[in-house]
A and B are shown apart, each in its own frame.
Chain A
Amino acid sequence: MKFKIFFLVLLLSLIFNPRAGAAVEEFIITIKDHQFSPQELAIPAGQKVKLIIENQDATAEEFESYDLNREKVVAGNSQIIIFVGPLKPGTYEYFGEFHQATAQGVIVAVQPEDNH
């Protein structure tokens, strides 16, 4: 029963994929010499954004963030996509688990300017 429900949810959400169609802003974070760049990235709060993590090192890294609830491996010389948000305005820390001493970064969600 439980599994049926989950598969149904899975199936339905594949059909009504919330990702499809909506244009999302893209941001690139690169990894080089086990460091993230930019180390501080500003993204708009309150909307979904696409992060492209590009690993220019030959070795693998794991993008991990407790603040964002994310953990994803990036193989050497390759890239991954991470969707985040909509986030509340604030600072979200992340790090590279395999090289935590040097691989540190933050994402700052900024409230977009209102027009009033």
Chain B
Amino acid sequence: MFSIAIIIFREILEISLIVGVLLAATRGLAGRSKWVWGGLGAGVLGAAMIAYFAEAISQAAEGMGQEIFNACILFLAAILIGWTVVWMRRFGRNLTQHFKDVGSAVIKGERPMYTLGIVIALALLREGSEIVLFTYSALVSGEPVIKILLGASLGAIAGTGVGVALYYGMIAISTRTLFSVTTWLLIFLAAGMVSQAVGFLQNGGFVPVMATQVWDTSYILPESSLVGNMLHVLVGYSSRPTGIQLISYILTLVSISAFLKFYGNPALASARK
């Protein structure tokens, strides 16, 4: 039962950390909950579908289908997160700042948050499909249903709990600081996703490795540990990154920051003058 709980915990943790950061970042935006729930729903459905087509995906592209698929999902999520960061800076900050004066009516339902919904769905898709495959295979191997249910709920509750704790930990920070904290967290999240995506492409042999191992911190902070795993999900920590992963990580950080600087907030920039 505990082995089931641990696996479910690990997968749910990844989802809940990403969703936790996204929710904290978009806090105060009216009408977002339907996008959050829509994303969660779509993600669950998608996860089941991906699990069903797991073998077909795997056999695609000369056996490298999984790598390409994972890389595409991560790239897409990273692009959308990058876009959300810029979008939030452009509109979100103004919205929260003028929230009290103008009232929520102005923004209610006006700006559809597709990106938020899609990113949540994508996060669920990748890890969720593993949960489906795993529980299905446990069921088929004759594991008692009650054990699976108990283990899965235990793991899911614990995994969600960490994400919820992260969310409340972040919103305990004052609104002004929260905005820059979540902005940076999202940028690091996106950079981590890009370097993971590049990792998949490199594993599939589509991009050169450039340097097999830039550093090795697996003895200090292994990715298998809880902290290492959380940092891996949140900021893309890798105990043995390759050259191209490091380069793509830095490139993403630099380019999203540049986008933020130049397209981020004309309103705020002019207000400061």
A residues with a Cβ closer than 8 A to B are 1-3, 5-6, 9-10, 13-14, 17-19, 34, 58-62, 66-67, 69-70, 72-76, 78, 80-83, 86-88, 97-98, 100-101
Beyond known contacts A13-B208, A66-B223, A98-B7: 17 more, CB 8 A cutoff = A2-B255, A3-B75, A6-B75, A9-B207, A13-B206, A17-B206, A59-B138, A59-B140, A59-B141, A60-B136, A62-B130, A62-B133, A72-B58, A73-B66, A86-B212, A88-B212, A101-B3
Q: Does B26 contact A (CB under 8 A)?
A: no
Least distance between A106 CB and chain B CB atoms (Å):
15
Interface residue count for B (Cβ, 8 Å)?
A: 46
Complex Cα spacing A100 to B224, Å: 13
Interface residues of B (CB under 8 A from A): 3, 7, 54-55, 58-59, 62-64, 66-67, 75, 79, 82, 130, 133-134, 136-138, 140-141, 194, 199, 201, 203-208, 212-213, 218, 222-224, 238-240, 242, 248, 251-252, 255-256
Q: Is the CB of A82 within 8 A of B205?
A: no
Cβ B206 vs Cβ A73 within 8 A = no
User: Which of B3, B137, B251, B252 has the most chain A CB atoms closer than 10 A to its own CB?
Assistant: B137
Q: Which of A61, A78, A83 contacts B55 (CB 8 A)?
A: A78
Residue from B67, B82, B130, B224 in contact with A66 in the complex, judged by beta carbons closer than 8 Å:
B224
Q: Establish whether residues B134 and A83, one from each chain, have CB atoms under 8 Å apart when the complex forms.
A: no
Least CB distance from A82 to B in Å reads: 7
